[in-house]
Structure formats: structure tokens, C-alpha cells
Structure 1
Amino acid sequence: MFKVLVSDPISDFGLQQLTRAEDVEVAKITGLSEEELISIIRPYDALLVRSQTKVTRRIMKAGVHLKVIGRAGVGVDNIDLDAATSRGIIVVNAPDGNTVTTCEHTFAMMMALARHIPQAHAKTVAGLWDRKSFLGVELRNKILGVLGLGRIGIEVAKRAAAFGMTVIGCDPFLSEERANKLGIKLATVDEIIQTADFMTVHTPLTNETHHMIAGPQFDVMKRGMRIINCARGGIIDEASLIEALDEGIVAGAAFDVFECEPPAPDHPFLRHPKMIVTPHLGASTLEAQENVALDVSEQVIRILRNEPFKNAVTISVRNKSMS
């Protein structure tokens, strides 16, 4: 029997391939601290997580039987990939399951930002009929800058075109030919921040993308920019953004992510009148949670059975031929 531990809330429907398998035993124990997880991980062959569990080197060292770590979602910044590689543990994710969901949340944030919807709602339910304070802007004929043209960024670009927006984007892996077919004009980060009316980021958080939009970029940014981040906290420097909002460089920002989650109660994003924030809801739909759980469960069981698999982020040398 293969033993699988699920340490974050993951859709039961999505886990059914594992729970119904005759050769797999699944334990679902969530809300564990690092020490608690270390104390119980030893007998398990696989660990399934979302974003809450931080899979550290110490956890992997204690998990002497671990063959695979499955991330029910895209980002793997909560998993120590170097440690996994050194220990021959395969890490797989589910890169497709939440693409549309995150794209739609991005557009919801963009619309809310353009029309001040949360602020107007708060005043209206408080009994104030204020039609003068919330003059918005149309998306039509505006320039949208997309930083990162992977699955989600491209879906956002498609929907922006339907709203009559001009889309410019930056991605080192997208060819000009492919961009042209998608109706996207490739541009540099500097060109985007100097010309776009709205900007949305869809890059992973890496050493290269950490604070890629910070003080120097805000200094030359087009005045009146509106910024959306439904990717990862830390891509945009939070302190510099607050300064840009106060100075009127940025007209408004909508963030689904923070550098530290959950944010401290006194975080400036939570009280700034030009900010819209949500608690990392980009992938929080019924469909997405089922899809990512189904995808990662299938890959985990394939790896345990030594069958061909996909979506490996790291890979064990002994299983390299299986990818």
C-alpha cells in the first residue's frame, strides 16, 4: 500500500482517484505546524499540499519514504525545490486547472478598480448616496500591459481584446510570431510602465521577478496607472506602491496577494482608499479546486506506480526517463 498524506484543504472530489485506489491509503490531516508534520511524515510515500503548507528541507529529511510532493495549483514557492532535488523527490504541480479562474478574478479586479465598486458599495450600504466621488474610467481604448504571457496572461489578453483594449505584453518565452497571432504587441517592462493605462502581472515569483516593479519603475511610470496583481506577492514592491499611490502616480491598485500572507492588521494596503484587496482568491472557485486536485492526484498515483507522468517541477534521477 502506498501512503499519501494530504496536509492542506483539497477537494474530496478531486482526490477520488487516490481515495478509491486499492493500492493507496490516504490520510487528510490539515493545519499542521512544521514540527507536527515532521513528527508524522515518516511513513508516507507522497505529500499533497496547496499553498498553506511550507514544505521545508527539515520536513523532507524526516519524510524518508517520500517519493513525490504534489502541489494542487501552479505556484511551488512554498516547496523547497533544491531540497527536493537533492533528495530525489519529484515535485509535480497542476498548471492548467486554475487558469480560467485566475484570469476571471484578474478581470473582476480590473473592473472593480476601474469603477470603484468596493468603495461605492461600502458607502451605499452605509446609507450614503454618493454619486460624485466615484467617477470611473472605461476599459475601451485603454492600453493594458501584461507582465508574463503564460497560460493566465494570455487568457487575460484575450478577454481584454474583447473589451476593446490594446494589449502590450512582456515575456521572454513568447515569440513575436505567436504574440502577433494573439493580437499582443511585445514590449519591454520599461515600455509597458511608461505607456500602459492598466498593468497586470502574471509571472512566477523568482529572484529575477522579486520587486521587478519598485522605486525606479514608479519614478518613470505613466501617471494615472492602475495596477492589478493576482499572481504572487513580492513581484511589486509594496512600500514603493503605497508611495506611488500617495503621490498620484498610480491611480489605484487591486491586489489578491501579499508579500506576507496573511498580512499584518496594520498593513497599509488594508486601509488605503485607492487599494482593493482580496485574500488570495485567484484560484478559489469550485471548478478550479476540483480540477487542480484531479490533475495532481493523477500524477501522484502515476509516480507511485512508476507509470509515465507529466508536470514535473523537479525530477528524481531514477525516474528521469518517465517524464
Structure 2
Amino acid sequence: MANDGDDQKHMTRVLFCGPHLPSSQNYTREYLKDYPFVQVDDVPLEDVPDVIGNYQICVVKSMKIDSNIISRAKNMKLLMQFGVGVEGIDIDAATKSGIKVGRIPSGATGNAASCAEMAIYLILGLLRKQKELETSVKQRMLGEPIGETLLGKTVIIFLFLIL
């Protein structure tokens, strides 16, 4: 039987950067619950540079992982960007350090559909002057401002799904 030191040596540690979008790490923990050799942690953004050296996988959420932070990631094998794109990761620095860079495909997260829905919501909010309308309702000035409609207009929303 292996001792705890051996177990820690064979543990894969996954770091989620920051408190934002907590469902991401909660989903990952739940998905990996039958794999006791994988540990999922989330730390405050300000702590990432100090602890990143203890992890093999890092999921970047709402921060920039630059060359300075990457230089501290001595055990890192994979940096992944949560959400769209990989602009939060210094790809050149990661590549020079032998760290693979990936993204979480939107098909797995529903992010592409969510972005398209948000675009529609924002278009409608702008047409209806949502912010001004909210103020008018609070001041009991119903019917002001008069917003626009989509009637007679053409709206095009491009949705790119890259897998």
C-alpha cells in the first residue's frame, strides 16, 4: 500500500484562477469525483502567482497569465482558457516553457449559444432604451422614452462554432 507521500506525488492538481464563474470549478469537481488522484482548487486571483508552481493544469478565467507567472509554473503541463479564445494566456511564453495551451470548446460549455443570446438581448435592450426606461419607470413616467422596434429592420448575428 502506498503512503500519503506517494499519493501526493502522483496527484494531478488543477488550478482554477479566481472566484468568478464558480460553476466551472464546481462542475469539474463533480465530474472528477470518481478520480481521487485529481485535486481541483480555486484560489483568489492575487494568490495565483504564489501557488501556480504546485499545479499541473491551470484553467484561466478572469486574469492574464503572463510570462512572469508562467516562469513560476514549474510543474505546469497545460494552460486552458475558460470561455472564448486564449487571449488570457501568453502563448509564446507557455510554448517556450514546454506548456501546452488549450481552450474549452464552446460546444462543451454552451458558450457560443449563450453569446448569441446575449447579442440578441443587448440589441433589444438598446432598441428599447432599457436603461432610460428603467429610470422612467422608477420615476413613474410611463411611456417614456419611446424605443425602437425590429419591425422592418434586418439583423444579422454571426455565430462561429470552432471545435
| Range class of TM-score, shorter chain | 0.7 to 0.9
1:62 to 56, 72, 77: 72
Distance 1:128 1:141, change over 3 A: closer
In the alignment, does 2:37 pair up with 1:18? Answer: no
**Match for residue 4 of structure 1?**
14
Q: Give the CA deviation at 1:14.
A: 3.8
- Do the aligned partners of 2:70 and 2:94 also contact (CA within 8 Å) in 1? yes
**Match for residue 42 of structure 2?**
28
Q: Percent identity?
A: 26
- Give the aligned residue type for 2:85: G
Q: Give the CA deviation at 1:46.
A: 0.9
Question: Relative CO higher for 1 or 2, CA cutoff 8 Å, sep ≥ 6?
Answer: 1
Q: Give the CA deviation at 1:43.
A: 2.0
**Match for residue 104 of structure 1?**
117
Within 5 A, what are the aligned runs for 1:174-323? Answer: none
String of CA shifts for 1:54-84, please: whole Å, max 9, x gaps.
1111111111110001222113211111111
Q: Give the CA deviation at 1:119.
A: 1.1
- The two structures, once aligned, show a CA RMSD in angstroms of 2.2
String of CA shifts for 1:170-196, please: whole Å, max 9, x gaps.
xxxxxxxxxxxxxxxxxxxxxxxxxxx
Counterpart-to-counterpart distance in 2, 1:6 and 1:66: 13
- Do the aligned partners of 2:81 and 2:88 also contact (CA within 8 Å) in 1? no
Counterpart-to-counterpart distance in 2, 1:19 and 1:8: 21
2:57 to 34, 39, 46: 46
Q: Give the CA deviation at 1:19.
A: 4.5
Q: Give the CA deviation at 1:127.
A: 2.6
Distance 1:71 1:19, change over 3 A: farther
**Match for residue 243 of structure 1?**
none
**Match for residue 6 of structure 2?**
none
Counterpart-to-counterpart distance in 1, 2:99 and 2:55: 12
- Greater percentage in helix: 2
**Match for residue 7 of structure 2?**
none
Counterpart-to-counterpart distance in 1, 2:141 and 2:145: 13
Counterpart-to-counterpart distance in 1, 2:63 and 2:32: 20
2:150 to 127, 132, 139: 139
Which ranges in structure 1 are unaligned for 5 or more consecutive residues?
A: 153-310, 312-323
Counterpart-to-counterpart distance in 2, 1:15 and 1:80: 26
**Match for residue 258 of structure 1?**
none
TM-score, normalised via structure 1 length: 0.41
Counterpart-to-counterpart distance in 2, 1:27 and 1:94: 18
- Do the aligned partners of 1:2 and 1:23 also contact (CA within 8 Å) in 2? yes
- Do the aligned partners of 1:19 and 1:26 also contact (CA within 8 Å) in 2? no
String of CA shifts for 1:125-177, please: whole Å, max 9, x gaps.
12323x2x42332213313355x65139xxxxxxxxxxxxxxxxxxxxxxxxx
Distance 1:137 1:84, change over 3 A: same
Within 5 A, what are the aligned runs for 1:108-123? Answer: 108-123=121-136
- Do the aligned partners of 2:60 and 2:88 also contact (CA within 8 Å) in 1? no
1:92 to 96, 102, 105: 102
Deviates further, 11-20 or 91-100 = 11-20
The alignment covers a number of residue pairs equal to 146
Counterpart-to-counterpart distance in 1, 2:66 and 2:33: 26
TM-score, normalised via structure 2 length: 0.77
Q: Counterpart of 2:50 in 1: which secondary structure?
A: helix
